[in-house]
Each structure stands twice: as C-alpha cells, then as structure tokens.
Chains A and B, each alone.
Chain A
Amino acid sequence: MQPPEREASTLDRQAERLSAKLAESTTRRSFLGRLSAAALAVAGGSAVAAAVKPDEADAFHFCGHIWTTGSCPSPYPPLARIDRKGFPLHPQSGRPIDNLGRIVDSAGHALDGNGNRLRGPDGEVLAPAPRTRICEDWTAEVKGLKDLRVQGAWFRCCGGQIRKLVDCCSRSRRRINGDASLVGYCWGGRRVYCVMYYDTGLPC
C-alpha cells in the first residue's frame, strides 16, 4: 500500500521554490546519475535492492517523489504509474490500463471486475482503445511538446518495494508546474518536464 499523499504546506512550497532556484543553477550530477542508473539497471534486482535504503522515502505528491516537479498527465492523475516501456499502469493494482483508465488484457480489450472482456450496450465486445506512452504521447499531446524523452531516473523505497522514479525530459525551460524547469537527471540540453514512476516489485 502506498502512504497517503500529502498536501504541500506553505513552508514546503517556499522550500520548493528555493530548491528549484538552486537546482536550476547547477547540473545535478548528470553524469554520475546516468552512470549509476545504468549500473543499477545492468546489475539487476539484487544490486538495486542493496543500493536503496530499506526505509520509506518521503513523498511530495506521490511516494518517493520529494518536492519540485509535478507528475506527467496520465489516466489517474497525479499517479503517473508506468510499466518498463512507459505505458500506463493502474496505480493500485499495477495492471495495464488503456488511455481511458480501464484495465485491459494483452490484446488491449477492456476488462470488467471479473476479468471478462467488457461489452458495449449492443452486447458486442468493446474494441480496444488507444494505450500510449505517458511521456512521449500523453504529455506531448496535452502540453503540445514534441521533444519529450524519458531520460534520467532514480530510486526510492515505497510500500516495501523499490520504486523507480522517471524523468520525462524536454528542451522547454518551463516544467509542467508552469515555473522554471530543473536539469535533474536529464541530459542533452533537456530538463525535467514532469515525472512518472515504475514499481519494480523488488523488496527493499
């Protein structure tokens, strides 16, 4: 289970602004961050589990995400939970969902609570709806940005498992919050536009 989401207090917001200014003026260990993320990905689950402290990460608007940038647009905002390829997952069950927020099977058909394919009012099985990537497709369409890429990531312990927090990066100097964006774990001139998360299922 996830810890409850917290509202940002005035103090938090002030701290966020201050940290944003500080972060804007520096590159946040871009090279080391990318290197360590790549190493973690290559080394596999046990190494990741060992690298992350086994206590719960503090949360700003979802567990593991501290302060700053907001979540990417998703079927269940602000819980932009994704799978390994960046497609949306149900925030609670972790099952694949289509862009309408419905749990779907491997063929993309929406399922009811019993796992049967949903039928329309005419009794026919509903055709699959689009299921597209949260960063490159969702955020691009909602915010009108064409250069969005998934780049950096970092890890926290959430709900007893390792959560990978993923940056959706753009060359835009404004982030989804509407204020100045941070370099974060993005590279190639991109900055963090919004964030998503991927629950690895690995205990921490």
Chain B
Amino acid sequence: MLETFTPAVCGGRKRQIVAQALFAAAAIAAATALGLGLGFVGSRVGAREAVLAAAALALVAAAREAGLVRVPLPQARRQVPDRWRFELPLPVWATGYGAGLGAGFFTFQPVSTFWVACAGALALARPLPAALCFSLYGAGRAAMVVWPRRPAEDPTAAVERLTRRRGALLRANAVALVACAVLLALAPAAGGATLVAGSALDPTVSGGVIAFETKTGDVVVRPSGEPDLVFPDAAQPALSGQYLAYVDAGGIRVLRWRDRADVARIDSPGVSRPALDWPNLAFVSVGPDSKRLLVRNLETGTTRYPANVAPGADLGRPSLRNGRLAWHVVTRNRSRIFVRTLASNTRRLFARTEIGRLSNPSLSGRRLIWVDARSGVTYLRQGRLDSKSRRVLARIRGRAASYWTTSLAPGAAYMTRWTIASGAAAVYKVST
C-alpha cells in the first residue's frame, strides 16, 4: 500500500502530499473515533474488572511477543482494496485507506499490542482520554506513509528494514507490554475507584454536575468543563439540576447555583442532611425527643414525615430521586435501609442487617447504592429496586479506612473515602 503514495501513482508531488495528508487525517480520525467508542463502552463497564482484564491481557500478549506462548490474533488478513485507486478519486481512496488502517480492525496485525491498547482504552473508561491515546495509533500508521525518504528510494524499503529487525522489535514490544501490565495493575482504577476531589466529602451529582464539601468548610460546584463555583461556610450539598441545597449556620439554604439566587430557606439550627429533587427537599430535623425525616415541597409548602426515630438512633443522610426517598436507620440492634415512593406513600425495607452498618444510600433511576460496613471490610454495594440483584462496586479491606457518603449517577457512583484515624477524606468515583 505504501508504494501507492508516490508521484507516479498520485500524478505529481503536490497530489502525493494531498493524498498523504488525507490518509494521515483519516487514520488519526478513525483511531480517535475507535478510542472514543472504547472509552465510552468502558465507562459503562466496571472499571476495576476492565483494568484487571487489560493487565492480564497485556501479560498474555507480552508472553506471545516473547515467543513463550502461541495465541492467534483476531484480525482481518486482507490488504487495502487495490482497485480503489483505479476506480475512485484520489481524495476518496486516500481517505478510505487511512480510515481502514486507522481503525485497526480491518488490517493485518503483526503483533498483539493493538488489542492490548483496545483493552486499555476500555479500562480507561473515559472517552476523551481514550480517544487522545488512540489518536497516537493513527499517527503511527500515518508516519509510515509520510516518513521522509530519499526520492529514489523504494517506499517499502523502510518496512523491509523494520522487518529485518523483527526480533529486536518483538523483544522491545514484550518489555513494553509487561510494563503496561504492571502499570495497569497498579492504576487507581484497579483498586475500584478513581480520585475525583482530594480533601473533600459528601459528593452529590446531577446532570453531569458534581458538588462536594471541602474539608475547609466550603461547598464546591464543579460543572463539566467549567470553572468551580465555591460557596463559603457551607456543608452537606445536594444538587438537583440548577438548584443546590446546603447547610449553613442558620439552617438549610436552597439556591440556583449558577447565579446564586436564593430560592428557599429552612431556618432552624436543628435541620441538616438535605436531599433535593426539585421541588421536593428532604432533610433531617433533630428535636429533644426524636429525630424526624421530613420531605417538603418547596412550591406548595406541604410537608410529609416519612420517618421518626429515637434520639439515640442514627437517621442518615437521605437520597431523593424520581419521586423516591431512601434513607438509613442505625440503632444498637440493627441497621436498615428504607425506600419510600412518595406518590403512593408505600415504604419498603430494602436491606437490613444485625451484624453490620448499612448507611448513606443513594438513588438513581431504579438503582440504589449504599455503604455496608462490616468488621474489617467496608463495601460499596449496588442493588436494583425491581430485583434482588446485588453487587459490590468497591471495597476497602482493613479497619483503617471506610466509605462515608455516596451519590449515584447514570454509569458512575461517587463516594467519600475517609481515613478513620486522621479524618482525612476524598471523593472517589467508580463505574457502575
């Protein structure tokens, strides 16, 4: 294919340059699109499993390149369609060649590295960084075409020189793949979570916007691709679209976070732990004889009282989404998570245990996540409201650290991880 990009085939030096440029652009674009797609798919798959699978695949590939095992590669052993350059205009066939080779799946793969890169992009679980990384693959494809060479030299000479050094290349590739496997295994995502914000706690997510409390006592709203908005002397944020609720010295404040315009206030020092699903605001009110969970419609002013517990019980931070309210109650005897459907006013005991601590549930759609702390291990679990399926999204072994508050978004769960001795906390994200 390389010999096609010559003045003889292209019809002149200028047309050759145009063809090479189109080939390079198409190869990079196709590789970028592939990385984007793989990263997107990876964001829908559990990151921990994907990273560990990629690390394992890299090790197998390294063994293959070192000649230790024989593993066939999934590939199309076809060359680019030769007839294109006779039947199609130069811009079309040059672009077509570039797109076909840049996508990787439609050509011969002499080594297994491409498939490891695919697995790595899946494991990255972030479309844009994966696209950026894969664009380098397209650039590599293009480099062989546009590589400067002496005018009289055969265009395939560079490939032949590489072929003569195949043994050294395979060994270098094996070393690179082993390094890749080690780095993947050590990546934060291999531990099940990636850092979102250091020295922070109480994440809340709505519509791609995340907010959290900082350890210095502020609330930060972080819209995607925009600068942070800081709300000083605030705590326990709860987002719902354009609205933000948080706790301040006087009670609970609800405002539009973009223009900071006040929308509502609950003036009482005994209220805390807001959850917002506009126009409903859930919060906990602590009185001398009991702790109550309230849901107030901020448009109509009506108030419901879904839960009332003794002062000694822990009535946790509720979660309010799509007309459902979830909360935890922990006593000396047991720990329970409830879900109430506001429209029908039906309450359901979602989970309970007498030997652990279930806390800080978060709702999204028909899914629920919560923290399940046991002796020597803390789990972040996910379950569905319409089935009994449960799975562990992340875990911390040992007694030195644990999970705290959570927030659930489509495709991702956020949680506070804190070190018990020091109180240090950070917000992490894990794919669901």
Question: Which A residues contact B (CB, under 8 angstroms)?
Answer: 73-76, 99-102, 107-108, 112-113, 118-123, 127-132, 137-138, 140-142
Contacts and interface: CB of A to CB of B under 8 A. Distances in A.
Nearest to A88: B375
Count chain B CB atoms within 10 A of each CB in A73, A122, A128, A140 and give the residue with the most: A122
Contacts of B418: 120-121
Nearest to A73: B355
Contact of B423 (A107, A108, A123, A131): A123
A10 B335 CA distance: 42
Nearest to A122: B201
Given A75-B375, A122-B201, A99 B404 contact: no
B304 interface: no
B333 A122 contact: no
B376 to A, nearest CB: 6
Contacts of B129: none
B423 A99 contact: no
Q: Please tell me the size bucket of the interface on B.
A: 20 to 34
Contact of B357 (A112, A118, A121, A129): A129
A142 B335 CA distance: 15
A100 B356 contact: yes
Secondary structure dominating the interface of A: loop
B163 interface: no
Interface of B: 201-202, 213, 215, 235-236, 312-314, 330-335, 353-357, 373-376, 399, 404, 416, 418, 420-421, 423-425
A129 to B, nearest CB: 4
A101 B375 contact: yes
A99 B355 contact: yes
B201 A99 contact: no
Contacts of A130: 330-335, 353-357
Given A100-B356, A141-B354, A121 B334 contact: no
A131 B418 CA distance: 22
Nearest to A138: B355
Contact of A129 (B236, B330, B416): B330
Nearest to B312: A128
B405 to A, nearest CB: 9
Given A128-B332, A137-B354, A76 B423 contact: no
